[in-house]
Amino acid sequence: MDQQDEIAVVERRLREGGHRWTQQRRRIAEVVFATHEHFNAEELLALCRKVDRRVSRATVYRMIAAMEAVGVVEGLDTGDGSRRFEHVLGHEHHDHMICRSCGRIVEFSDAKLERQKAEIAHRMGFTMLRHELKLVVECNDLACPGRAPVGKRR
Amino acid sequence: MDQQDEIAVVERRLREGGHRWTQQRRRIAEVVFATHEHFNAEELLALCRKVDRRVSRATVYRMIAAMEAVGVVEGLDTGDGSRRFEHVLGHEHHDHMICRSCGRIVEFSDAKLERQKAEIAHRMGFTMLRHELKLVVECNDLACPGRAPVGKRR
DNA sequence: ATTGATGCAAAAGATTTGCAAACTG
DNA sequence: CAGTTTGCAAATCTTTTGCATCAAT
């Protein structure tokens, strides 16, 4: 699935949800699916503004909420004070390791882990909507460039 | 380990960290270890104030940070806009399910899951400091009293 | 006495919202 | 056209911080 298709999916899902497809929303979707970073609202706003001055902060926040609601974007709490997001179309679910030494966000996925999570929710009588696993780690020398901590930690 | 012991541990760890043990800190620790809810800073402040008017908001925030730093309290992001906390002395690590229908936070723990998490971090060359697994679920009729959603969801 | 801790109020950030104007279907 | 969506700024909410004062060691 390439970027055009992904944006088409976003459009379709929003329309199906009774929403309108505006120029701003398309712009935001384009930027979201063009990046592979974990961005927060402010960063997304800045990226959108670079290509289209008409995108406002409020619209970015509203669009993020809308995309989350239709499941094309997921948020994660990295502990830096803002929520960060990533698009989730076209790749299987993955989890995150957040390195306290260098601030990197490392993605990983593990089939066994996924099975275990689903099984636990089911065993306890719940329907799992989504799940978020965060490992806060410290990198060892080989794995890490040894950069200074990034951003404020709390 | 009863509540007195738990508070003694908090005191010891803070003192070992070079901190002073003040009346406010003792009060806050007492309240934290007396509750079994997942409280946020504002709620903790209100509880403390009920028994001791001298506890201020700033001190509550500072004490939460201190307790987190010495590992007697852990925070979790429930998606309601504030961080929630729980004390972690005297019971093994557990994860959380957050029910989107009724707002309940259900705790669970699974040894196999724990082993898997640790193994993954190790395999990828990291040292795991802590981990947080959150399953966002929807309860089925039997499991849920069917209460209305609690708090704002985002 | 020294020095860290506290309370207060102000500041800082992130996110949400009211409303008139602009745009979509 | 009718009804959404937008931009803006103001409002909200949570958390942090500066600083004079207080209290623990």
Q: Please check whether strand D approaches the CB of B153 to within 7 Å.
A: no
| pLDDT for residue B26 is more than 90 | yes
For A21, A149, B11, B58, B133, the CA distances from A77, given in Å and listed in that order, are: 28, 17, 30, 23, 12
pTM of the shown model: 0.88
B149 CA to D4 C1', in Å? 27
- Whether residues B58 and B100 share a domain: the answer is no
Strands B95-99 and B105-108: antiparallel
Number of domains present in the structure of chain A = 2
Beta bridge partners of B39: B85
| pLDDT for residue B145 is more than 70 | no
> Whole-number mean pLDDT of chain A?
89
A116 to chain B, minimum CA–CA distance in Å?
7
CATH of the domain at B144: 3.30.1490.190
Look at residue A104 in the predicted model and tell me its pLDDT: 85
- Whether residues A70 and A127 share a domain: the answer is no
Look up the protein residue whose alpha carbon has the minimum distance to the C1' of C22: A22
CATH of the domain at A80: 1.10.10.10
pLDDT tens by residue, A89-105: 988 899 999 988 777 89
Is A57 at the interface with chain B, CB within 8 A? no
- Mean of pLDDT values over B1-29: 96
Look at residue B125 in the predicted model and tell me its pLDDT: 87
- Residue A11 and residue A80: Cα distance in Å, rounded? 31
Q: CA-based Rg of chain A, rounded to a whole angstrom?
A: 17
Per-residue pLDDT band for A141 (boundaries 50, 70, 90) equals low
